[in-house]
Structure 1
Amino acid sequence: MARFAEERLALLWREYLTRRAVGVYMTGGTFYRLGIQGRLSYPDQRIAEDIKAFTTTTLSFLLMLLSSLLTVFTFSSVLWLISPLLFFTAVIYAACGSFMTILLGRPLIKLNYNQIDCEAGFRSALIRVRENAESIMVERSQQRHAIRLLGQFDELAANFRRIISVNRNVGFFTTGYNWMIQIIPVVLIAPAFMRGDMEFGVITQSAAAFAMLVGAFSFIVAQFSSISNFATVVGRISSFLDAVEEASKATDTGVECIESGGDFRYQNLTLTSPTGDILLKDLTVKLAAGTSLIVVGDGDSASTALYRATAGLGTAGSGRIVMPPGQNLGFVGQRAYCGPGTLRQILSSQEPAAEETDERLLELLRQLGLERPLTLGDLDAEQDWSSLLSSREQRIVALASAIVAAPRYILLEKADAGFGQERLADILNFLAKRGIGCVNFAEPGAPRAGYDAVLEYGRDGSWAWIDQHKHESPGP
């Protein structure tokens, strides 16, 4: 019953902490900023494994500490009545043993920290090989990846050998420490027994009380391996919390993104590259509802920077981006990712329009160009769609998911290369019929036919708004 209560409490605590951790990790782009900052290694490991170890170990330690305290209260008075000298010896002996154990085993904390990272890195590398098996096979790069895998394993093994060495030293000390517990009370009581001041039975009683009391005081000595692992886990969770707190703070890039119920527009927007070069200067344009726009020019740096700034990915610059709130604005990136789950969950990740039935969802996919035959049962089939679908098919599914939410605007990144010109023309017509505005941040030289307007930029940051139906309006 006690074990059931301990495991149940540990699970409830883990559920609470994990939900909190996932909440802060996946909110406000924290997971993205952690990745690009590169300050924290394997946050997934800390959420999945370290929180589990923290909750179970903490409860286990609390119960052991409670048991040790009860033992101390029970046997302290017994040992004091037998010999105050034995009592003080037990306290001093346990304190010295704890100090020496900490001194010898302290390197374990950092070594265990590194070992967890090494294990996670090796496992992650194996997963990447499995996920990219076809590319590795085609490129004939098996040897290179095998060498890298073995190199990571060698690092893992070398660190573990250092852990074994430290555990050996701690083990030698604790073995001698435990043997001395049996000898010390006999040595201290023997003179009194020889003088006839103490009966033989008292020696046995004092030895037992001494062993119990020292054992209770020697919690650190007895549990140092678990304590060092626990300290590692606490350190990893603390670094995770610190990194999350830092990453959750909005980085001031100078570009102000605000949500408004009006049209989509850029106001006095200037974007710069990481080296400080101006990519776009004083961009001020307004995109009316239902308008299709292509962003194109010399090179693709400005187009990419404008897309990233609009998506809130922290592009340096100044000015303002005013966009519709919430799901009124949809994004389809160059590398769409469906991930595991059901197709219904992916298509309805945002609040779907009321008229979208199962049949209409499948028909939408077919209209957008998904040639893979799907049935109603596929909507609720649990699949890893990122492995099952090609990159182009994942972009179609991502576009369908954006359309299902009935947005006012959809922003596409390099849709020409992703969908092909013929399919992209059909998509533009499809969006126009639904009254959805579209912005394609295209590759250099992309055809401009089929769009209502063109935003053309130059290498010096200049831009021009070209109304395909009227006239050209040059920028600064």
Structure 2
Amino acid sequence: MPMKLTQKLKAFKTFATQAWALTKPYFQSDEKWKARALLIAIVALNLGLVYMAVLFNDWNKLFYDALQEKNATVFWAQLGRFTYLAFAFIIIAVYKFYLTQLLEMRWRAWMTGHYLQRWLSNHAFYKLELNRFTLQANGDARNPDNPDQRIQEDINQFTTYTVSLTMGLLNAVVTLASFIGILWGLSGGFAFSLNGSDYNIPGFMVWMAELYCAAGSILTHYIGRPQIKLNFQQQRVEADFRHHMVRVREYSESIALDKGEAVERVQLDLRFSRVLGNYLALIKAQKNLIWFTSFFGQAAVVFPFVVAAPRFFSGAIQLGELMQISSAFGQVQGSLSWFVDSYSSLASWRATTDRLTSFEASFTALAHDPVALTATDSVALETNNLTVALPTGTVLLAGAALHAKPGDSVLLQGPSGSGKSTLFRTFAGIWPFASGAIARPADAMFIPQRPYFPNGPLRDALAYPEAPATYTDAQLRQALTEALLPQLGEQLDQADAWSQKLSGGEQQRLAIARVLLKKPKWVFADEATSALDEASEASVYKRLLALVHSAQGAIISIAHRPTVAAFHTQRWELEKLPEGAPALYKLEEKRS
């Protein structure tokens, strides 16, 4: 077997394995019986449509023979028969469509829930972003880009294409099995003489249909295969364009303040030019395929008449049998041409399957990543031989031993970029590029530099991630008042985009209000008051200190402002090591 053909067969086998790996979980899930019942019903309806096509083929002969013979009795009888055949066909076609759409919808819902669960579990959504930037920095093109697009669009396309193409292939196979015998019996033999010998090819129309479709399938593949790569790339550039527009919306105020509209327009135009450029290449590839498939389809209309015409004009067959031959040939040719007719859909399905497979592989890789950091729950915070690195592998901190006990108030300081926030992420257990051992308090809350607030009622933003019903209105208003936001106390049910509506200082105070509402024992504050004036800063820090001390916990803060230092009795300082150890810092404990 030629090497190239072997490689193609291997690639096809790999693709089939990937498609089956994505398909199998749903039909083995807790919804398997409903899924299988729907699938069986759809298969039965497809078989019913094939059976109706056989009946219509038989009707063709009787109807057109009656026309040729001017037999009014048979004509009207067959017209009546057509009425109930058409009615039965319509019923089957409608329910086939309905149940197919229902299966696609249920399958999409299950897959979406499945991947949302995996994406949002064990900080996978965060780790995937870190891995993506790492792969990009290393020039690796396999980065799992745009998970939102994969979950929203790719799953929808995968379920739709899988069901439609599978049922189309089943329909083609069953139709071929049903009509190839009919066409064989109707087509007769093809007799010819060669070098004084007589030859007869039985079932000549069948052989012609197979030869016609085999040539068409081969040519279709070579003409249309560029679409596979172009479809894959089109989904990526469309998602990149959409993602950048979302970023402009999220950072609208910052962009407006910087007067960055022109820059963003250039960036959007650049991404959209990639969309248009790839789409133009895809259109050209589709145009080349349509040139061929249109010619192929139109030629197939007259091809059976050309081949069968000599027998008709010689009187060997009547008009009804000629029409029956044409109908049977059309069914056989249509079945054998499934690959030709479905090639564009197959190309899109292949691209979608590849993208979902790489998405699945990214989750698998996360699950098999070695766990280098040993974490346990404790009443205090303690690290042993803690090493923290960047996604690129650059070590920030090596062999750190830290200890903070209940009642402590620790200020973490160091140059910008030294890894203070990264150390906090390690304390939180979300930073995957760390090793060593860490014992940390379980009842702790982190206040990040950029707090997140979901769009919706203010009470949802304040109680996040808990349900707002967990707290009374009085508790919510008390937390807002203690965080110097009493004016928001009457807006608990007002829905808004709070990350955009509130100023930077108000957002920081709302994040502090969350802490005051939930009353954790330990608080980790990362530049949590950088947007506040000194008086407001002093007020909220006094409340935070009173909270953790009453709960027998501690507070650890990152801050550059000297006013924050007054609220802490202990310091951890990151100091850069001498030349020869780039980006490596040492951590020293000092008492104020």
TM-score calculated relative to the size of structure 2: 0.71
Q: CA deviation at 1:66?
A: 3.7
Q: Choose 1 or 2 for highest CA Rg.
A: 2
Q: CA deviation at 1:100?
A: 1.6
Q: Does 1:129 align with 2:248?
A: yes
Letter in 1 for 2:216: G
Aligned with 2:464: secondary structure?
A: coil
Letter in 1 for 2:262: Q
Q: Spell out the pairing of 1:59-458 with structure 2 (5 A cutoff).
A: 59-83=163-187, 84-193=203-312, 197-250=316-369, 252=371, 254=372, 256-271=373-388, 279-280=396-397, 282-297=399-414, 301-314=418-431, 316=433, 318-325=435-442, 328-350=443-465, 356-370=471-485, 372-375=487-490, 378-434=491-547, 435=551, 436-443=553-560, 447-458=564-575
Cα contact 1:25–1:31 (8 A) shared by 2: yes
Partner of 1:474: none
Letter in 1 for 2:220: T
CA deviation map 1:359-407 (0-9, x unaligned): 11121022112254332xx434433222222333233333333444432
Q: CA deviation at 1:452?
A: 3.2
TM-score calculated relative to the size of structure 1: 0.87
Q: CA deviation at 1:169?
A: 1.2
For structure 1, list consecutive stretches of 5 or more residues without a partner in the other structure.
469-476
Letter in 2 for 1:411: F
Q: Does 1:53 align with 2:157?
A: yes
Aligned with 1:412: secondary structure?
A: strand
CA deviation map 1:82-102 (0-9, x unaligned): 131211222232222222212
Q: CA deviation at 1:335?
A: 1.2
Q: CA deviation at 1:352?
A: 7.8
**How far apart in 1 are the matches of 2:289 and 2:237?**
23
Cα contact 2:460–2:467 (8 A) shared by 1: no
Letter in 1 for 2:260: S
CA deviation map 1:219-260 (0-9, x unaligned): 1222222222222221221121122322344455x4x24132
**How far apart in 2 are the matches of 1:132 and 1:113?**
29
Match of 1:9 among 94, 103, 115: 103
**How far apart in 2 are the matches of 1:259 and 1:58?**
45
Q: CA deviation at 1:106?
A: 0.9
* Higher RCO, Cα 8 Å, sep 6+: 1
Cα contact 2:234–2:275 (8 A) shared by 1: yes
Cα contact 1:14–1:55 (8 A) shared by 2: yes
Cα contact 2:480–2:513 (8 A) shared by 1: yes
Cα contact 2:477–2:486 (8 A) shared by 1: no
Q: CA deviation at 1:70?
A: 3.7
C-alpha spacing 1:441/1:86, structure 2 compared with 1 (3 Å): same
C-alpha spacing 1:251/1:338, structure 2 compared with 1 (3 Å): farther
**How far apart in 2 are the matches of 1:388 and 1:129?**
16
**How far apart in 2 are the matches of 1:445 and 1:425?**
12
**How far apart in 1 are the matches of 2:387 and 2:402?**
12
**How far apart in 1 are the matches of 2:327 and 2:360?**
46
Q: CA deviation at 1:185?
A: 2.2
C-alpha spacing 1:302/1:193, structure 2 compared with 1 (3 Å): closer
Letter in 2 for 1:268: N
**How far apart in 2 are the matches of 1:353 and 1:76?**
67
Match of 1:29 among 114, 119, 123: 123
Aligned with 1:269: secondary structure?
A: strand
Q: CA deviation at 1:464?
A: 3.8
Letter in 2 for 1:466: K
C-alpha spacing 1:313/1:251, structure 2 compared with 1 (3 Å): farther
**How far apart in 2 are the matches of 1:242 and 1:10?**
24
Partner of 1:473: none
Letter in 2 for 1:346: A
State the identity %: 28
Aligned with 1:330: secondary structure?
A: strand
For structure 2, list consecutive stretches of 5 or more residues without a partner in the other structure.
1-94, 133-142, 188-202, 578-584
57-66 or 22-31: which moved more?
57-66
Cα RMSD for the two superposed structures: 2.9
CA deviation map 1:29-74 (0-9, x unaligned): 2111221222122111111111112222322333333433342233
CA deviation map 1:284-317 (0-9, x unaligned): 3332224321112455614234223213343755
Aligned residues: 462
Aligned with 1:294: secondary structure?
A: strand
**How far apart in 1 are the matches of 2:176 and 2:512?**
67
C-alpha spacing 1:409/1:217, structure 2 compared with 1 (3 Å): same
CA deviation map 1:118-165 (0-9, x unaligned): 222222333333343443343333333223322222222221111121
**How far apart in 1 are the matches of 2:343 and 2:431?**
45
Cα contact 2:411–2:572 (8 A) shared by 1: yes
Cα contact 1:29–1:248 (8 A) shared by 2: no
Q: CA deviation at 1:270?
A: 4.0
Letter in 2 for 1:263: A
C-alpha spacing 1:53/1:387, structure 2 compared with 1 (3 Å): same
Match of 2:589 among 455, 465, 470: 465
